[in-house]
């Protein structure tokens, strides 16, 4: 459910006029911030696809009987769950350059497909966390794509990244959750779960030392405020947006899988690399939803609170949730036939 009835947006307001400010502000901010953050990759090309190489080396080390949680330079030591090794196993025997570009170009292709499915302008490719994830060859873009795939396959997102459980619950994708649970159980005999549990103190310390995000996890007052925001935002939307602000040691690129439910207002706040802006964006949107219960907002501000999945809901393109489908799934025949 949408947190505020007013977010249905009056049909008398032309889309182009009400969306115009966001179509000017967002691409400008995206390009400036992404350009600034990407300067390092421009000067040192080896940063491109570097995370894909590190995670592949971690998978290679595990296959050789070693400790994958010792792989990587001090600032990027592998610290994911054992299941995060799985997508990189197929690349363990490939040359580094093939792995590097396969992940970077694969991420780019998935990002383009997602923007097309969600009917977002091409300049969303410049969304700073998305740019960073693509540059690094990071699996966050893969997670985004999986979450928008029809049916139980979406559950594979939660196998690689456990926080993907939240969007699956938001969309009531019970078959996807079942696939995730079964897959994890099946991997117990051969993935290094025992080593993972033994190394948990070291892995936690690694996560803390590498953390550059601004999640409020561990701060009771701020966590309470964020949880209260679920009321005006609506539980479905809140679950899609919760990871970057509530998940332990959430990195900025963890914002990427939230894109389907991300409003322009939140995207603006989440693009600004200042500590605290992740919480500010979510709380600001929740506050405006409360205001909209009593007073009418300017049309452009209503647009600033909208999101791709909510727009698909209003246009009648929401998939049948009783079957566990995500709105506007990339592989949904219904979404294609309704265009």
Q: Are 33 and 273 in contact (CB under 8 A)?
A: yes
pLDDT tens for the chain, 339 residues: list them.
334 433 443 333 444 455 678 999 999 999 999 999 888 767 777 889 999 999 999 999 999 999 999 999 988 999 999 999 999 999 999 999 999 999 999 999 999 999 999 999 999 999 999 999 999 999 999 999 999 998 899 999 999 999 999 999 999 999 999 999 999 999 999 999 999 999 999 999 999 999 999 999 999 999 999 999 999 999 999 999 999 999 999 999 999 999 999 999 999 999 999 999 999 999 999 999 999 888 888 888 888 899 998 887 777 654 333 223 333 333 333 333 333
Nearest to 170 by CA among 242, 109, 244, 256: 242
* Angle at 130 (CA atoms; ends 109, 248), nearest 5 degrees: 125
* Angle at 256 (CA atoms; ends 327, 27), nearest 5 degrees: 95
The per-residue pLDDT for 17 is 52
Q: List the structure tokens of 115.
A: 């923007």
- Three-state helix/strand/coil letters over the chain: CCCCHHHHCCCCCCHHHHHHHHHHHHHHHHHHHHHHHCHHHHHCHHHCCHHHHHHHHHHHHHHCCCCHHHCCCHHHCCCCCHHHHHHHHHHCCCCHHHHHHHHHHHHHHHHHHHHHHCCCCHHHHHCHHHHHHHHHCCCHHHHHHHHCCCHHHHHHHHHHCHHHHHHHHHCCCHHHHHHHHHHHHHHCCCCCHHHHHHCHHHHHHHHHHHCCCCCCCCCHHHHHHHHHCHHHHCHHHHHHHCHHHHCCCCCHHHHHHHHHHCCHHHHHHHHCCCCCHHHHHHHHHHHHHHHHCCCCCCHHHHHHCCCHHHHHHHCCCCCCHHHCCCCCCCCCHHHHHCC
Distances (CA, A) of 255 to 9, 246, 269, 293: 26, 11, 11, 28
The per-residue pLDDT for 316 is 62
The per-residue pLDDT for 333 is 31
The per-residue pLDDT for 275 is 94
- Provide the number of structural domains found in the chain: 1
Nearest to 208 by CA among 198, 217, 197, 221: 217
The per-residue pLDDT for 77 is 94
The per-residue pLDDT for 123 is 96
The per-residue pLDDT for 285 is 95
Tracing tokens 């540059």 back to the chain, one arrives at 135
CA distance linking residue 34 with residue 28, whole number of Å = 10
Question: Which domain, by its residues, includes 67?
Answer: 5-337
Q: Are 302 and 268 in contact (CB under 8 A)?
A: no
CA distance linking residue 324 with residue 235, whole number of Å = 16
């Amino acid at each position: 459910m949408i947190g505020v009835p007013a977010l249905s947006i009056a049909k008398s307001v032309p889309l182009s006029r009400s969306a115009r400010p966001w179509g000017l502000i967002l691409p400008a901010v995206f390009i400036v911030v992404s350009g600034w953050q990407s300067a390092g990759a421009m000067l040192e090309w080896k940063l491109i696809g570097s995370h894909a190489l590190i995670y592949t080396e971690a998978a290679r080390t595990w296959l050789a009987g070693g400790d994958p949680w010792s792989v990587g330079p001090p600032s990027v030591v592998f610290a994911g769950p054992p299941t995060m090794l799985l997508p990189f196993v197929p690349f363990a025997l490939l040359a580094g350059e093939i792995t590097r570009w396969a992940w970077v170009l694969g991420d780019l292709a998935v990002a383009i497909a997602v923007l097309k499915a969600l009917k977002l302008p091409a300049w969303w490719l410049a969304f700073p966390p998305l740019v960073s994830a693509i540059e690094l060859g990071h699996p966050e873009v893969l997670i985004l794509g999986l979450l928008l795939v029809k049916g139980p396959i979406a559950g594979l997102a939660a196998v690689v990244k456990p926080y993907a459980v939240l969007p699956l619950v938001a969309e009531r994708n019970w078959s996807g959750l079942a696939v995730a649970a079964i897959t994890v159980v099946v991997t117990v005999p051969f993935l290094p779960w025992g080593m993972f549990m033994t190394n948990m103190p070291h892995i936690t310390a690694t996560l803390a030392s590498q953390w550059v995000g601004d999640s409020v996890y561990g701060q009771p007052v701020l966590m309470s405020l964020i949880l209260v925001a679920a009321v005006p935002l609506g539980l479905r939307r809140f679950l899609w947006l919760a990871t970057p602000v509530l998940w332990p040691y959430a990195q900025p690129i963890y914002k990427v899988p939230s894109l389907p439910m991300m409003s322009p207002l939140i995207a603006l706040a989440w693009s600004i690399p200042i500590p605290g802006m992740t919480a500010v964006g979510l709380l600001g949107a929740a506050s405006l939803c409360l205001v909209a219960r009593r007073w009418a907002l300017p049309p452009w501000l209503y647009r600033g609170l909208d999101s791709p999945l909510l727009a698909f809901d209003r246009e009648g393109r929401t998939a049948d949730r009783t079957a566990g489908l995500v709105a506007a799934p990339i592989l949904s025949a219904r979404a294609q036939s309704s265009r």
